[in-house]
Amino acid sequence: MLKPSPFAPAQFPELPVIAGVRTATASRGFYAARGLDRDDVFLFEFAPGTTTAGVFTMSTTASADVAWCREALLAGQGQARALVVNSGNSNAFTGPKGKEKNDATLAAIVASLGAPKTQCFLGATGVIGEPLPDPNYVGSIVPQLQSQLAAPDWLACAKAFMTTDTYPKGASHSASIGNTTAQFAGIAKGSGMIAPNMATMLAYVFTDIAATPAILDVALRQACNASFNAITVDSDTSTSDSLMVFATGQNASPEISAQDDPRFAELVQALTQVCLDLALQIVKDGEGATKFITIDVTGAESDASARMIAADIANSPLVKTALAANDANWGRVVMATGKSGQPVALDRLSIWFGDVAVAQGGARAQDYDEDAATAVVSQPDIHIRVDVGVGAGRATLYTCDLTHAYVDINGAYRT
| Burial (CB count within 10 angstroms: exposed 0-12, middle 13-18, buried 19+), residue 337 | buried
Please work out, in degrees rounded to the nearest 5, the angle formed at the alpha carbon of residue 280 by the alpha carbons of 42 and 380.
130
Q: Name the active-site residue from 200, 207, 298, 337.
A: 200
Within 10 Å of residue 93's Cβ, how many Cβ atoms?
15
Which secondary structure element, helix H or strand E, spans residue 405, and what is its range?
A: helix 404-411
Which candidate, 222, 217, 196, 246, places its Cα nearest to that of 82? 246
Please work out, in degrees rounded to the nearest 5, the angle formed at the alpha carbon of residue 139 by the alpha carbons of 121 and 61.
55
Please work out, in degrees rounded to the nearest 5, the angle formed at the alpha carbon of residue 16 by the alpha carbons of 190 and 178.
105
Cβ–Cβ < 8 Å for 63, 90: yes
One-character DSSP codes across 179-212: TEEEEEEEEEE-SSS--SSS--SEEEEEE---B-
The number of C-alpha atoms within 13 Å of 1 and in the hemisphere containing its C-beta is 6
Please work out, in degrees rounded to the nearest 5, the angle formed at the alpha carbon of residue 311 by the alpha carbons of 385 and 285.
90
| Burial (CB count within 10 angstroms: exposed 0-12, middle 13-18, buried 19+), residue 166 | buried
Q: Which residues pair with 317 in a beta bridge?
A: none
From CA 296, how far away is CA 343, in angstroms rounded?
16
Which candidate, 205, 176, 201, 204, places its Cα nearest to that of 191? 201
From CA 86, how far away is CA 40, in angstroms rounded?
6
Helices (H), 285-397: 303-315, 317-324, 330-339, 370-377
Cβ–Cβ < 8 Å for 241, 198: yes
From CA 351, how far away is CA 344, in angstroms rounded?
13
Residue 200 a catalytic site member = yes
| Burial (CB count within 10 angstroms: exposed 0-12, middle 13-18, buried 19+), residue 65 | buried
- Catalytic (active-site) positions: 200
